[in-house]
Amino acid sequence: MASKTTVRSSVTIFISILLFIGVIVSMRLLHSSFEITIAGYSPGKSILTPIACHNPTDTTTANSKEPQKKLELATFHNHTDATPAVSKPPQKKLEVQLNCTLGNLTRTCPASYYPSKFTDQNQATSLTPPSTCPDYFRWIYDDLWPWRETGITEEMVMRARRTANFRLVIVKGRAYVETYRKSFQSRDQFTLWGILQMLRRYPGKVPDLDLMFDCVDWPVIHTEFYRRPNAPPPPPLFRYCGNNTSLDIVFPDWSFWGWPEINIKPWETLSKDLRKGNEKVKWTDRERYAYWKGNPVVAETRMALLKCNVSEKQDWNARVYAQDWIQEQKQGYKQSDLASQCIHRYKIYIEGSAWSVSEKYILACDSVTLLVEPHYYDFYTRGLMPLKHYWPVKDNDKCRSIKHAVDWGNTHQQEAQDIGKAASNFIQEQLKMDYVYDYMFHLLSEYAKLLKYKPIVPRNAVELCSEAMACAAEGVTRKFMLESLVEGPSDAIPCTMPPPFGPAGLHCILDRKENSIKQVESWEQQYWKKESKQQ
């Protein structure tokens, strides 16, 4: 009897164990199924958000942010089963203040004052790998493409001196500058200041290099001169913008560290102000017109934009204002606070004599950016996509394009808000100062790899450091320098460069842009055909 009881008990226990195992397996399968469902979820695709282009030569897409999120969702539960990473104990971030002890008149650089190497102690305390750089970093490879086979010789660099404002040489992490001509306003000063901050952020990581920098707007290294038979390699010349017919190397502009002459704050501060400004007026409560304010006399296209202003005869849905900077300076810049200008549903971006630094301020406003057909690009704008980040406007028919765009947005409010939000998210997330410094770092590092000679300090160059610039500075210039000062080495290494565009991936991106613009042109034609019938 006892034996039968024992057998029944054993059978009962065995069955219970099998049931328990079955429940566990079912839960895991259900868990796994849920995981796959999230990872593969694809909402209905709108005409405003075309499928991202895939680059056959690599594993990322033209817009790496979305696939990265999906990957995180798909692998999240696997991390919970793995042995958790052991983090190092947090260390206090190293901060190195300016050494102005010799007084404001000093223009010398203190020896051995700042760390000369980027050590492991500077890096993030966790085992988290560095983030992947935004996709627009890929254009670095494209900008340096002309020298991929020849490399860069000192003779090539010296040929770029013809229009350069200064020559920058970095040797063993220290910067030396030879000035050829003063730039307009403080462009050269704040460009060099920005480079010095990058050196403070990543001490000892920037390789030795030698370059020429031109602070004038217009590109000057014209492609046509270097495609002829027996033409020499082009001289490498850095500047703030480029176009499709030039080979100038594009670099972040001075305004990221401030523009004292018109009281524009450093980007680190201003981007936060713009984020707060966005929250003051909801998009649906904003003025239902397109807004632009700027200096019209610098370009014919801007003068033509003034004709789109409202008049007794015609309302093109635009409110356009000429900015008088001399008068604005006298009034204490009360009417030019960028953070308080996010009160219109639509904002117009139009180039000046070349590209304009105003683009990032306009894109950051949550408003739909009506981008008049550009002829120039800067380092990040090639990452923007029409109908995703902005609405394209024809340069040769501005007024009619603007009126159609505003009418479309006011009747498609959700789609319009999505465009505005995508642009401001791009600016706030992919153009934060961390990435500006990383772009500078990667561009200069890739450039240095092409040098076929060992850079040495030019005889007429002077050493430049933060102390040599800020200690003697005064007024708003000093204020902006101190505000944008990098206080010490970064606690994280630079983001990881994405691979170059493959031919198919690059063509896909260019085709996608072209098709989006053609789509808007088609809508516009239909709109005006309908309008003409109603008249």
Q: pLDDT digits over 219-235, tens only?
A: 999 999 999 889 999 99
The answer on 411 and 295 residing in a single domain is yes
The answer on 301 and 223 residing in a single domain is no
The per-residue pLDDT for 531 is: 86
Q: What is the mean pLDDT of the chain?
A: 84
**Percent of residues in the chain assigned helix, strand, coil, to nearest 5:** 45, 10, 40
The answer on 405 and 278 residing in a single domain is yes
The per-residue pLDDT for 93 is: 66
Confidence of residue 340 (pLDDT cuts 50, 70, 90): confident
| Contact assessment for residue 424 and residue 363, using Cβ atoms and an 8 Å cutoff | yes
Confidence of residue 324 (pLDDT cuts 50, 70, 90): confident
Confidence of residue 218 (pLDDT cuts 50, 70, 90): very high
For residues 304 and 351, give the distance between their C-alpha atoms in angstroms, rounded to a whole number: 12
Chain segment 74-96, per-residue pLDDT in tens: 333 333 333 344 444 555 566 77
**What residue numbers bound the domain in which 74 lies?**
6-81
For residues 192 and 503, give the distance between their C-alpha atoms in angstroms, rounded to a whole number: 35
In a domain, 370, yes or no: yes
The answer on 248 and 124 residing in a single domain is yes
The answer on 369 and 276 residing in a single domain is yes
The per-residue pLDDT for 30 is: 37
- CA 435 to chain CA centroid, Å, is 7
Indicate whether 501 pLDDT > 60: yes
Q: Which of 261, 248, 293 is nearest to 184 (CA)?
A: 261
User: 87 or 428, which is more confident?
Assistant: 428
The answer on 279 and 185 residing in a single domain is no
Average pLDDT estimate for 338-355: 94
Q: Which of 54, 81, 108 is the last residue of a domain?
A: 81
Q: Which of 32, 62, 81 is the last residue of a domain?
A: 81
Instruction: Output the pTM of the full model.
Output: 0.82
CATH code at position 397? 3.40.50.2000
Confidence of residue 330 (pLDDT cuts 50, 70, 90): confident
Indicate whether 323 pLDDT > 90: no
The answer on 330 and 193 residing in a single domain is no
In a domain, 146, yes or no: yes
Residue type (1 letter), 53: C
SS3 94: coil
The per-residue pLDDT for 102 is: 60
Confidence of residue 261 (pLDDT cuts 50, 70, 90): very high
The answer on 270 and 248 residing in a single domain is no
166-171 and 174-179 beta bridge pairing: antiparallel
| Contact assessment for residue 289 and residue 317, using Cβ atoms and an 8 Å cutoff | yes
In a domain, 71, yes or no: yes
In a domain, 505, yes or no: no
For residues 230 and 9, give the distance between their C-alpha atoms in angstroms, rounded to a whole number: 94
User: 427 or 41, which is more confident?
Assistant: 427
Chain segment 15-29, per-residue pLDDT in tens: 555 555 554 444 444
Q: Which of 27, 60, 81 is the last residue of a domain?
A: 81
The answer on 465 and 414 residing in a single domain is no
In a domain, 100, yes or no: no
| Contact assessment for residue 442 and residue 137, using Cβ atoms and an 8 Å cutoff | yes
Indicate whether 46 pLDDT > 50: no
The per-residue pLDDT for 25 is: 41
The answer on 351 and 410 residing in a single domain is yes
The answer on 273 and 233 residing in a single domain is no
The per-residue pLDDT for 473 is: 93
Burial class (CB in 10 A: 0-12, 13-18, 19+), 275: middle
At 162, list the tokens.
């013809």
The per-residue pLDDT for 213 is: 99
In a domain, 510, yes or no: no
User: 344 or 61, which is more confident?
Assistant: 344
Chain segment 116-156, per-residue pLDDT in tens: 776 655 555 545 688 999 999 999 999 999 999 999 999 99
- Report the domain count for the chain: 3
For residues 371 and 359, give the distance between their C-alpha atoms in angstroms, rounded to a whole number: 9
Confidence of residue 312 (pLDDT cuts 50, 70, 90): confident
**What does the CA dihedral 226, 231, 236, 237 come to, rounded to 10 degrees?**
-60
Confidence of residue 453 (pLDDT cuts 50, 70, 90): very high
Confidence of residue 40 (pLDDT cuts 50, 70, 90): very low
User: 422 or 115, which is more confident?
Assistant: 422
Name residue, tokens 């897409």. Answer: 61
Indicate whether 54 pLDDT > 60: no
Indicate whether 360 pLDDT > 80: yes
In a domain, 517, yes or no: no
The per-residue pLDDT for 524 is: 97
Residue type (1 letter), 106: T
Average pLDDT estimate for 423-428: 98
The answer on 281 and 424 residing in a single domain is yes
In a domain, 506, yes or no: no
